[in-house]
Structure 1
Amino acid sequence: MKRTLSLSLIFLTAALSACSTSKTTHDPALVGTWKGLRAETGKCQFLSWTNHLKPDGRFVITFYRNAQQTQVIQTEQGSWLAADGRNELRTDGVRMPDVYTYKLLDADTVHYVSVASDPTSDCQGDYEFTERRIR
């Protein structure tokens, strides 16, 4: 009985240890506040946004009707993961995440290309955009 209990404790410890060493990835280069906008001449409706990517893996993004960001459309929040040039945004209450490839052009500029998006998104085309860090 003691041996079975000891083996069970060893396996439990190993399992818990494995869980604690596997961590979600949040590319530290993306943590911060970013501003983006869609081109007014693009195939998708114009909008601008401010995106707060927090180090704890949460985000808050506010969308605006205008470039001056005075006409709010809506605010969303959720969780994000980013590593190896792939970023996934999972908005609270939305079944499917938005998935992008990304490339840092410099410390304050990142370019995204949509890989997969929620089917209810307003723009389903080959969608790409650039965000600039707000300091």
Structure 2
Amino acid sequence: MLKTFLLSGSLAALLAGCSSHATQPLDQRLLGEWQGMRDKNGPCQFFAWNSSFRPDGRFEISFFADEQRTRLIQTERGSWSAHDGQNHLTTDGVKTTEVYDYRFIDADSVEYVNTKADPTADCQADYRFTEQRVGS
């Protein structure tokens, strides 16, 4: 009986601890489907992408080698939180979080600026981009 009491007490403490963690804030304006692409004549290799930001704090970004988005390069999934003009993206399996400043150009266009240069990025000049809401 004592063993059961200790186990249920530990479980209750664990559950209470889980429920006391606040959920990460999400800028509701970013929810939904977005797309963007690098400038074909820019300093970096061209690619296009589709991104999805879900209300459960998960994201998915698929990168494509063509403007029509038919030649998939890769898809990244992870968690996101955004508030006060900063979007934090943590890709599953990656220890570091990417942080982007963002501002809305209009309700269906958002500009991002990477706040920290990533020495492992495929192009060091790739620090600013715009996404458009899909269906707008």
Same fold (TM over 0.5): yes
Identical-residue share of aligned pairs (%): 48
Aligned residues: 121
1:33 deviates by 0.3
TM-score normalised by the chain length of structure 2: 0.80
2:39 counterpart of 1:35 = no
**Deviating 4+ runs (over 3 angstroms):** 15-18
CA offsets per residue over residues 13-63 of structure 1, 9 Å max, x none? xx859925x331110000000000011122221110000000110001100
Tell whether the 8 Å contact from 1:47 to 1:65 is kept in structure 2 after alignment: yes
**Superposition RMSD in Å:** 2.0
SS in 2 for 1:116: coil
Q: Which residue number corresponds to residue 26 of structure 1?
A: 26
TM-score normalised by the chain length of structure 1: 0.81
1:121 deviates by 2.4
Q: Which residue number corresponds to residue 59 of structure 1?
A: 59
Tell whether the 8 Å contact from 2:101 to 2:115 is kept in structure 1 after alignment: yes
Unpaired runs of 5+ residues, structure 2, are 1-12
Distance verdict in 2 for CA 1:86–1:75, change over 3 Å? same
Unpaired runs of 5+ residues, structure 1, are 1-11
2:47 counterpart of 1:47 = yes
